[in-house]
Amino acid sequence: MREFDVSILELMSQPEKIDFAFQPIFEVETGAIYGYEALMRPSPYTPMEVIAEFARLDRLNEIEDITTYYATKKFLEKNLEGKLFLNSFPAAYVSDEMLEKVHQLVQHRLKSRLVIEILEYTEFNNYAHKTKSAQFQKSKTDEEIAIDDYGTGKNIDEECIEFYKPDIVKIDRKLISGIDQNTANQKALIDICNYMKQKGIIILAEGVETREEYDYLKNNYPVTLMQGYYLGKPQI
């Protein structure tokens, strides 16, 4: 761990000072903004350093609380259009107390505009998933579920789809990078797209960083949504 004037725990104890960047997600057919993914920016640390420390202490629920409330707050303050994609750990969930605080903040402004994006850091967790589902059913938010980093070998199997029954699957950038030149990835993506189409799941290609990748995906695959530096970088 690098040496800084403030520790990770000290930094996260003042969550109101933590920045969030928002990266746009676009509809391929219309070019319109579909929504934004909220990305924690806990300077001077990286998000992965913060996650690793809280995972070590078995305190990921606290990160879930912080990101859910403060990312939502900043999203609404910026008056951003479309849907809000909130990252969520498979084994963590928001406390009832924090969820009530979020509801007071939101006042139904995110009804049908919230997407819970399941990250790949931990294994499936029945209790956490059922708790999240029950909380959002109670709040009548009509949230959707997205699976992050699909196609990396961590979230690739059918068990993940059957467990979460997602509305959206985000294809990992490892498959997207250089897709216009990589025949192995092209074939893998065809198989994934066919499977998702059968399930009625929306396909989002993330990590689109070049015009060539964008054009190839748009012209050859049933990709509904795209996200990446070519289309728009995260902005604080």
16-69 pLDDT tens trace:
999 999 999 999 999 999 999 999 999 999 999 999 999 999 999 999 999 999
30-41 pLDDT tens trace:
999 999 999 999
Rounded percentage of the chain residues whose pLDDT exceeds 90: 69
pLDDT for the residue 140:
76
Angle at 179 between CA 175 and CA 184, to 5 degrees: 70
Q: Where are the beta strands (DSSP E) in the chain?
A: 19-27, 33-41, 83-88, 114-118, 144-150, 168-171, 202-206, 225-227
Kindly report the pTM of this predicted structure.
Answer: 0.92
| pLDDT greater than 80 at residue 133 | yes
pLDDT for the residue 88:
93
Q: Which of 53, 138, 63 is nearest to 93 (CA)?
A: 63
170-227 pLDDT tens trace:
999 999 999 999 999 999 999 999 999 999 999 999 999 999 999 999 999 999 999 9
Contacts of 168 (CB under 8 A, 6+ apart): 115, 144, 145, 146, 147, 201, 202, 203, 204, 225
